[in-house]
Amino acid sequence: MSKQVVPTHEKFLITIEEAQAYFGIGRDKLYALTKEEGCKFVLFVGRTRLIKRECLESYLKVKTYI
């Protein structure tokens, strides 16, 4: 049986590495963003940080809007 590959833009949760590639943000910056108090776009599964892709997209749109 082969494992199905789901494109990043269709995933609800993505890893830090996938977020780096998808958003073009560095690993250290993503870790800093997920450490902020009240961060709503991170989900911890044990020690693994998973990013709620759509929530991070919304957050970045608000923060980068000039």
Instruction: Answer whether residue 20 shows pLDDT above 60.
Output: yes
pLDDT at 66: 57
What are the structural domains, with CATH classification, of the chain? 12-64 (3.90.105.50)
SS3 at position 8: helix
User: What does the DSSP assignment read for 10-46?
Assistant: G-SEEEHHHHHHHH---HHHHHHHHHSTT-SSEEEET
pTM for this entry: 0.85
Q: Stretch 42-57: mean pLDDT, rounded? A: 96
Tell me the CA distances in angstroms from 8 to 13, 25, 54, one per residue in order.
9, 15, 11
Instruction: Answer whether residue 62 shows pLDDT above 80.
Output: yes
pLDDT at 1: 73
